[in-house]
Amino acid sequence: MISKIYLFLLLFCLSFIKAQVKTDALSIFKMQLFLDKNNELSGCSKNDSLYFAFSKNIILKLDTLKKSGNYDLINSVSAPKFEFYAINLSFDGKKNLDYVKKMTNKEDNCLGVFSGTYDKYVLAIDRKKGRSYRIVGFNGNDFLGFLSDYLEYYNEHNDKKLTSSSFFKNYSVEGIDFKCLYNGLHSDGIDRKKYPCLQRVNDPILIH
């Protein structure tokens, strides 16, 4: 009887650990959206209770973006396990964000997600390690960190070394201009007109 109890506890612990290490893309996306909000503009300070309210009230539908390229970079067992997720805030029938309840103006400032000219967010998520990288639409951009981590992992697990130029030639994701991101983030100053891939969702709508 005691051995059966120990076995049950062991199986329970193993299932709990497995659940803990599973990467939850939806929760990661919610957290990144919450952290991206500007405290000064919203008039709200970020804390645990505000995030709890934000997370419970927001409804996200993530689009998984299609990857294409060399087998060794995409499907091989030794290829880095990254997935790319997007949400669209446009009102053309493809909107991926909604709310559980209608909010007051004050609640909307603290819990809402707004868009200007640009209306898409993209995150890259390392499914094995649980790391996330802001690729499109956010105030900050982690593409250079993503590229560095991708190349490091690939070169540690493959005999043939991969360079940045080889990555650009042999790896692509729908709707993302990797070369634009690379060149724009390496430029002396951030020029969002010259490098439109660096536009942010909360950039104001420009009136000419």
CA distance 97 to 59: 6
Task: Tell me the domain boundaries of the chain.
Answer: 23-33+61-91+115-198
CA distance 72 to 59: 36
Assign residue 140 a region: left if phi > 0, alpha if psi is -120 to 50, beta otherwise?
Answer: beta
pLDDT attached to residue 198: 95
Dihedral angle over CA of 163, 168, 169, 171, nearest 10? 100
Residues of the chain with pLDDT under 50: 4-21, 208
Instruction: Name the pTM for this structure.
Output: 0.84
pLDDT attached to residue 12: 42
CA distance 64 to 82: 11
pLDDT attached to residue 87: 94
Alpha helix ranges (H) inside 68-175: 71-74, 105-111, 143-157, 164-170
pLDDT attached to residue 10: 45
pLDDT attached to residue 37: 86
pLDDT attached to residue 92: 60
Residue of 143, 151, 138 whose CA lies nearest to 185:
143
pLDDT attached to residue 41: 65
